[in-house]
Structure 1
Amino acid sequence: MTERVIDPRNRGFLFLDSHPAGCRHLVADMWRSCPEPTGVPEGAGPVALIIGSSAGYGLAATLAGLKRAGIRGIAVSFEKAPTERRTATAGWYRTAATAELARAEGRDLVFLNGDAFSDATKEQVADLIERRFGGSLDYLVYSVAAPRRTDPATGTTYATVLKPIGRADRTKTLVFDDRGAPEVREVETAPAEGDDVEQTVAVMGGADWERWIDHLAGRGLLAAGFTTAALTYIGSPLTAAIYRQGTIGAAKAHLEATARSLNERLGAAVGGRAVTSVNGAAVTQSSTAIPGIALYTGLLRGVLGAGVVPPIRQLAELWDQLTGAAPLATDDEGRIRLDGWELADDVQAAVAQRWEAATTATVAGLADLDWFRAEVERLYGFSVPGVDYTTAVATDVPWPDHTR
């Protein structure tokens, strides 16, 4: 078994290696911080499918589902194995740790490593539901953020584009230099052109979510009352031009339109429902790539401190609503809103004031930069309390075996 000391090496917000022990501790910390269920889930538990289960809100959905709802079923993600030169991806190690937790809880949760966009993965999941879980799926949570997608029907590959629509956008953004010193820059992003919007919608919209539902329904695997939720984000007016009103926003609008269409279809077919869940801000591997989001998130933490609601607590609330442990609360467009703490008028006013004042010279006093840096590092298993990073650790952790 390969063991070595792993130092954090990064290019901006992207780290080249991940720390297995740090990822395992992070999963354990998330588990402990998930609120205890009001009653111990009894019986075998509902059958759930989590798509995008290894990172961010998808990981939180998996852990909260285990703890709050006692789910069993299948978790799908797409991760890279360790090699001689590189560790595995952080999601690989987080998945191994989550599998250990599921076994300790006595829950039959299968972890599949595969391209969620492919029909082969969909068929593999359908076969498992049929053979292992009685041919009946109760819940599907969709949490996929990807740079590209190949449409199985046409073979066409589409790529996500992060651009405003209609005109260029100039915004502040946060970067760190080679010494780790913060710098606030202004960056300009050119507007979408050609088929940029269509490309982004094809990747991040509702097409694949709907394809999953169609595939499973075609196999007769949706239980009576089947419920599905896709996770999404709206965010602040400060980031709207590049996000909610940009190409990504067009994809999110398509996702929400897909939810409304699926809700009608599922209601008629199995008495089921489809919703989108609007989550609050978090530091994720995908969000750090969006101009302005890093600065905004750091400022939000500067305003709220410990009032920032972590993904695991948000997803605990989502599971309570999906399972009926708490009332289903939706807005006028049928979306579950878990972002009220972020978008409260007083919070946004305070963040906007700090945004205007933020410069390289002032940002350290306005944003919680230590928290933000640590959150980025924790995405890869670093800066996790309780981990000795001077000790060699095994890097060739196996993927969870679902044949046992």
Structure 2
Amino acid sequence: MSERVITPRSRGFLFLDSHPAGCARLVEEMWQAAPAPERAPDGAPVALVVGSSAGYGLAATIAGLARAGIRGIGVCFEKAPTERRTATAGWYRTAATAELARRHGHEMVFLNGDAFSDGMKDQVAGLLRERFGRLDHLVYSVAAPRRTDPDTGAVHTSVLKPIGEAYRTKTLVFDGEGTPEVKVVETPPAEGDDIAQTVAVMGGADWERWVDHLADRGLLADGFTTAALSYIGSPLTDGIYRQGTIGAAKSHLEATARTLNERLDKLVGGRAVTSVNGAAVTQSSTAIPGIALYVGLLRGALGEGMVPPIAQLADLWDQLTGARPLEVDEDGRVRLDAWELNSAVQAAVTERWDTATTETISHLADLDWFHAEVQRLYGFAVPGIDYTAPTATQVPWPEATA
């Protein structure tokens, strides 16, 4: 088994390698942080998490196991280790999640491949039919740069662009020494079919295809519920997010939820919702101009008052499983972001945003926390890990055993 010392090397917020031991420790921390169930679940609900290895999808998987006692399938797309490079962080997180599930007596299978493909949907349907039975819950959490349409073979590519006019915003960057700088960046507006392309990747088409694929094969249980994870965010980031191409995709996702909700109600007495989560440092969010600055300032304003993804997803599982009523807003969305978007918090963050410069940022944002959170996405900056010691990088994908 190959062992070597792994040091963090990055290009901006993107790290070139991941640390297996750090990733495993982070998964264990999330499991321990998941609130214990208030009462023992009635049986083990069968669940599918699409996008199970990172961000809110990972939180959904771990909270589902630790809080709701699920059994079932996680789907993600991760790269294996090579002789020169480590695996992706999600590979190591999945291996650690599978081990914890096994240790706690949960039957969970993880499949690695293209969630957009019908081949993966067939594989999941086969596993349900042969091993798990009908599906009680589906959580959909996929963020991807491109998607191949299974019907046409066309490759759609998503973009992060404003709609209508160029968007200028403050953003946070770190130089090679880790020194923070607040810069103003400008993003050109969407053109041509940018909006349609982004909606095709990040909208509700694939979520709906998953539900239809399983429904057509009689694999949805009575009372089946499904949630697609989403985000609205602050007015400070509206121009690039909710009012941009990604926002158009999120609007399509919400429209899809309404369509699916009507269909599932008639078919199996089921429900479909979008779940609007609060801000967090994720591999996807750090790529969006302004989001890094916003989240750092939010942490500066709230400190420990920020609600971590694992707690938010535990709340969602309570609602999906009926441990407490499913509560939605007037647009049919579960809102897990009230702690972030209340007026007092947004006023405090806006005041910090308006005065944020390279000279003032260290007093306004929790930069140590933010910088550590970015590193932790890849298994670095985890307390208790000796980063000077060699670690095994050739971690196998978890076997699909009971």
Please, what TM-score do these two structures have when normalized by structure 2? 0.99
CA shift, 1:403, in A, is 3.8
| Superposed CA RMSD | 0.7
**Within 2, Cα distance between the matches of 1:383 and 1:39?**
35
- 1:253-292 matched pairs, under 5 angstroms: 253-292=251-290
State yes or no: 1:368 paired with 2:366: yes
Aligned partner letter, 1:253: S
Residue equivalent to 1:131: 130
After superposition, give the CA deviation of every residue in 1:274-296 in whole Å (9 maximum; x if it has no partner): 00000000000000000000000
After superposition, give the CA deviation of every residue in 1:114-164 in whole Å (9 maximum; x if it has no partner): 100000000000000000012x10000000000000000000001111000
Query: Quick one: which of 286, 304, 307 aligns to 1:306?
Result: 304
After superposition, give the CA deviation of every residue in 1:344-387 in whole Å (9 maximum; x if it has no partner): 10000000000000000100000000000000000000001111
Query: Quick one: which of 293, 314, 317 aligns to 2:315?
Result: 317
After superposition, give the CA deviation of every residue in 1:159-188 in whole Å (9 maximum; x if it has no partner): 111000011110000000111100000001
**Within 1, Cα distance between the matches of 2:102 and 2:227?**
25
**Aligned partner of residue 160 in structure 2, secondary structure:** coil
Moved more, 69-78 or 33-42: 33-42
State yes or no: 1:14 paired with 2:14: yes
**Within 2, Cα distance between the matches of 1:109 and 1:119?**
21
**Within 2, Cα distance between the matches of 1:73 and 1:187?**
44
**Aligned partner of residue 125 in structure 2, secondary structure:** helix
**Within 2, Cα distance between the matches of 1:272 and 1:327?**
14
- 1:14-93 matched pairs, under 5 angstroms: 14-43=14-43, 45-93=44-92
After superposition, give the CA deviation of every residue in 1:193-229 in whole Å (9 maximum; x if it has no partner): 0000000000000000000011001111000111000
State yes or no: 1:107 paired with 2:125: no
Residue equivalent to 1:342: 340
**Within 2, Cα distance between the matches of 1:53 and 1:24?**
15
Query: Quick one: which of 286, 294, 297 aligns to 2:295?
Result: 297
CA shift, 1:42, in A, is 4.8
**Within 1, Cα distance between the matches of 2:384 and 2:305?**
23
Gaps of 5+ in 1: none
Aligned partner letter, 2:112: N
**Aligned pair in 2 of structure 1 residues 271, 42: CA closer, same or farther (>3 Å)?**
closer
Aligned partner letter, 1:307: G
**Within 2, Cα distance between the matches of 1:152 and 1:340?**
37
**Within 2, Cα distance between the matches of 1:372 and 1:69?**
30
Query: Quick one: which of 186, 190, 193 aligns to 2:184?
Result: 186
**Aligned partner of residue 110 in structure 2, secondary structure:** strand
CA shift, 1:68, in A, is 1.1
State yes or no: 1:2 paired with 2:2: yes
**Within 2, Cα distance between the matches of 1:18 and 1:148?**
23
**Aligned partner of residue 67 in structure 2, secondary structure:** helix
Aligned partner letter, 1:345: S
Give the paired residue count: 402
Query: Quick one: which of 197, 200, 212 aligns to 2:198?
Result: 200
Query: Quick one: which of 240, 249, 252 aligns to 2:250?
Result: 252
**Aligned partner of residue 69 in structure 1, secondary structure:** coil
> Which stretches of structure 1, 4 residues or longer, exceed 6 Å deviation after superposition?
none
**Within 2, Cα distance between the matches of 1:40 and 1:363?**
46
CA shift, 1:41, in A, is 2.8
**Aligned partner of residue 124 in structure 1, secondary structure:** helix
**Within 1, Cα distance between the matches of 2:375 and 2:357?**
23
Residue equivalent to 1:148: 146
**Within 2, Cα distance between the matches of 1:109 and 1:31?**
15
Query: Quick one: which of 370, 378, 381 aligns to 2:379?
Result: 381
**Within 1, Cα distance between the matches of 2:41 and 2:367?**
39
